[in-house]
Structure 1
C-alpha cells in the first residue's frame, strides 16, 4: 500500500476529493490511503481537495501527497454545493442551494460526505404479477 505524504500540514476530516472522474469522500487516513491506493487518475494534474473547514488543498496523484499550496484556498458553501451537484452520479440526490445562511461551512461539507456515503437509489420498474 502506498503511504500518504503531506507538505506542511494535514487537512482535517472529513475530506471531499475531486478525482477527475467524480468525488471521493474520506473520513479517516486509513480509509483514504486504502482508496487512493486503488485509484487511477485520468492524468497526474493536481486534484482539488476540500477539508472539513472549507480550506482548499491539492492532491498530487503522482506522489499521493496533500498540500495546502493551491490556487483555491477557501471554498464557499455555494462552490462546494456546485461541485457536488455538477459531478454527482445518477441516483444521488441533488444538494439544495436554499437556506445556506442557516448552515455552517463544516455542516455543508459533512452533509455532502454523507450523500457520497449513502447508497445510490435506483428506480426499479416492477413487472406486474400474473
Structure 2
C-alpha cells in the first residue's frame, strides 16, 4: 500500500478530491489514503483537491502526493458547489445554492464532504 505524501505542507481536513471520474471526500488522512488507493485513475494527470479553507491543492495520482502548487489556488463557495453538483452522481442530493452569504467557506466544504461520505 502506498502512503500519502505531502510536498511543503498538508491540506487542512476535511478535503475534497476531484478524481476526474467523480469526487472523493475525506475527514481523515487514513480514509483519504484508503479511498485514493482503491480508486483506479484513468491517467496520471494532476487532479484538483480542495481543503477545508477553500485552498486549492494538486494531487499527483502516481505518487499520491498533495502539493499546494496548484493551477487553481483559491476556490469560492459557488465554484465548490458547482463542482459537487456537476459530478455528484446518481442518488446523491444536490447542494443548495441559496443562502450562501450565511455559510462560511469551511461550512460548505464540510457539508459537501458529509454528502460525499454518506452511505447511499
Question: In the alignment, is the contact (CA less than 8 A) between 2:59 and 2:67 conserved in 1?
Answer: yes
What RMSD in Å do the two structures reach over aligned CA positions?
0.8
Q: Where do 5+ consecutive residues of structure 1 fail to align?
A: 121-130
In our comparison, the structure showing a higher alpha carbon Rg is 1
Superposition TM-score, scaled by structure 2 size: 0.97
CA separation in 2, counterparts of 1:58 and 1:33?
A: 15
CA separation in 2, counterparts of 1:107 and 1:21?
A: 24
Aligned twin of 2:71: 71
Aligned length: 120
Matched, 1:103 2:108: no
Offset at residue 118 of structure 1 (A)? 1.8
Aligned twin of 2:13: 13
Deviation digits for residues 65-87 of structure 1, max 9, x if unmatched? 00000111000000000000000
Matched, 1:47 2:47: yes
SS in 2 for 1:80: helix
Question: In the alignment, is the contact (CA less than 8 A) between 2:26 and 2:117 conserved in 1?
Answer: no
Matched, 1:114 2:114: yes
Q: Where do 5+ consecutive residues of structure 2 fail to align?
A: none
Aligned twin of 1:125: none
Q: Which has the higher contact order (CA 8 A, sep 6+)?
A: 2
